[in-house]
Amino acid sequence: MTAMSTMASEYELLTPETVASYIATNPTLAELVDASTLEVAEVGDGNLNLVFLCQDADGRGICLKQALPYVRLVGESWPLTPQRVLAESRSLSVAAAVVPHLVPAYYGTDEDRYVLAMENLFGWEIWRSKLNRGEIHRGVGALLGEYVANLAFSTSLFALDQMEVKQQTAQAINPELCRITEELVFTEPYIEHDNNSFVDELAPEVAALRSDACLRSEVGLLKHRFMTAAEALIHGDLHTGSVMVRSTDGRGDARVIDPEFCYYGPVGFDLGALIGNYLLARGRAAVLYRGAEYCEWVAGLAEETWNAFEANMRRLWPTRVDQTWTDGFLDAWLQQVARDALGFGGCKAIRRIIGLAKVSDIETLPPDEHLRAATMVLRTANTWIKERQQLGGVSAANEVFLEVEAAVMQND
């Protein structure tokens, strides 16, 4: 156990039965719902935390998230600091100021019990679940580009003076959570490790990745960048399971959740997390929904997110606080972010096929489709990582996929 971790016995964990009395004793929360008529369900289906959705007899709601002192997916054998809830509250507070329309309302954090209170998003659903069903939600990709740009600009040297950035960087340090990403995303998939698992038929593809010296050195460069490029406060785990979605009159809306992995890191990492997860959805679409409108829509998500990110950065650019950052700098920086996004996107996709914490996009496919989709993801990701300098931007992501898809389908 590391110095920052807290054992299970050091604070009381909530249960559906104890949530109402917990809320009743907290004046802020007791104002939001009637604890005496509360219905509570524990719905946490992520890898780390307890999540309680609460609704009172008048239909008012609240969502409580409590950090367990260990990794839920694995159990108490993997201790993990519950202070990650403080990182999440930091990110939610910043987002509430700069993109209030893209995050749940934040009601506060109990630092003794590691409980964070936020809006209960009635009628919204995790985006990954909707993608798995082939649902189209137009505009969500652009909203996420807007989220990344606004968070990046407002927490970086573009909007803050250097003292402020250094203080914020220090306060946002999140070493235990970063280490999970460093190991699970950049190291373990490329070596023999107990955390890895994949079907036997995929072994030749995995062996090819592991013996690819060029790929391995590029992944090393990306890991180094993740560990050293403190550009802005990033979400840190912005996959499609960290986004709640709904549509009204054919227009999609989004709320970004779960920023407990936030820290000062490379802006392209958040975009890469999205693009890598769009690739996982695209792999599923290719084997289940080929030729359908849904497939076309998923194929356009990476570019949609990138275009919105770039447009929002360019919109905010005239308000930057230091004229050292010229228009020419912005063009060059955007190119760098696009290259990072492709590289990180590749790494984020590969880890979900080979490493710990798989995703339902791929895992719920029947065996033949699973193998085809996983192969498409691994080969596409490999090219994104190795050729990210030459590909000329995020718009090339889909072209790479189409070539790989054709080859995989032809070999069937």
Which residues of this chain interact with ligand SR1, rule CB under 6 A?
A: 46-48, 71, 73, 180-181, 184, 237, 356-357
**Contact criterion met (CB below 8 Å) for 261 and 296:** no
Binding residue for Mg ion (CB under 5 A) from 33, 35, 46, 103?
46
| DSSP character at residue 161 | -
Q: In terms of DSSP H, where are the helices of 156-202?
A: 162-171, 175-181
Report the C-alpha gap between 412 and 368 in whole angstroms. 10
* Positions in 148-167 near Mg ion (CB under 5 A): none
Least Å distance between CB 285 and ligand SR1?
22
Which residue number, 113 or 358, has a Cβ lying nearer to ligand SR1? 358
Q: How far is the CB of 128 from ligand SR1 (least distance, A)?
A: 11
How far apart are the C-alpha atoms of 370 and 377, rounded to whole Å?
A: 11
Shortest distance, position 340 Cβ to Mg ion, whole Å: 21
Return the structure tokens found at 360: 């339902």
What, of ligand SR1, Mg ion, none, does residue 116 touch, CB below 5 to 8 Å by kind?
A: none
CB under 5 to 8 A by kind: which of Mg ion, ligand SR1, none does 267 bind? none
User: Which of Mg ion, ligand SR1, none does residue 218 bind (CB under 5 to 8 Å by kind)?
Assistant: none
CB under 5 to 8 A by kind: which of ligand SR1, Mg ion, none does 180 bind? ligand SR1
Pick the closer one to ligand SR1 by CB: 237 or 310. Answer: 237
Partner in contact with 187, chosen from ligand SR1, Mg ion, none, beta carbon below 5 to 8 Å by kind: none
Cβ neighbours of residue 167 closer than 8 Å, sequence gap 6 or more: none
Residue 126 structure tokens = 């995790």
| Residue 258 binds Mg ion (CB under 5 A) | yes
Residue 231 within binding range of Mg ion, rule CB under 5 A: no
The residue at minimum Cβ distance from ligand SR1 is: 47
For the bound state, the minimum distance from the C-beta of residue 399 to ligand SR1, rounded and expressed in Å, comes to: 27
Bridge partners (DSSP) of residue 188 are: none
| Minimum CB distance to ligand SR1 smaller for 47 or for 187 | 47
C-beta of 46 vs 265, nearer to Mg ion: 46
**What string of DSSP letters covers 275-298?**
HHHHHHHHHHHHHHSTTSHHHHHH
Shortest distance in whole angstroms from residue 287 CB to Mg ion: 26
357, interface contact from ligand SR1, Mg ion, none, CB < 5-8 Å by kind? ligand SR1
Tokens of residue 293, six digits? 């409108």
Residue 218 sits at φ, ψ, to 5 deg, of -70, -40
Shortest Å, Cβ 73 to ligand SR1: 6
Q: Taking the complex as a whole, how short is the minimal distance between the CB of residue 242 and ligand SR1, in angstroms?
A: 7
Identify what 53 binds: Mg ion, ligand SR1, none; CB under 5 to 8 Å per kind. Answer: none
Distance CA 169, CA 178 (A): 14
Number of residues that bind Mg ion (CB under 5 A): 2
- Rounded Cα distance, 78 and 65, in Å: 19
The CB density around residue 101, as the number of other CB atoms within 10 Å, is: 11
Residue type, 402: L
Which lies closer to ligand SR1 via its Cβ, residue 127 or residue 158? 127
Residue 237, phi then psi, degrees to nearest 5: -155, 50
| 46/69 with CB nearer ligand SR1 | 46
**Shortest Cβ 319–ligand SR1 spacing (Å):** 33
DSSP code per residue over 331-376: HHHHHHHHHHHHHHHHHHHHHHHHSSS--HHHHTS-HHHHHHHHHH
Residue 327 CB contacts under 8 Å (≥ 6 apart), including other chains = 317
Residue numbers at the binding site for Mg ion (CB under 5 A): 46, 258
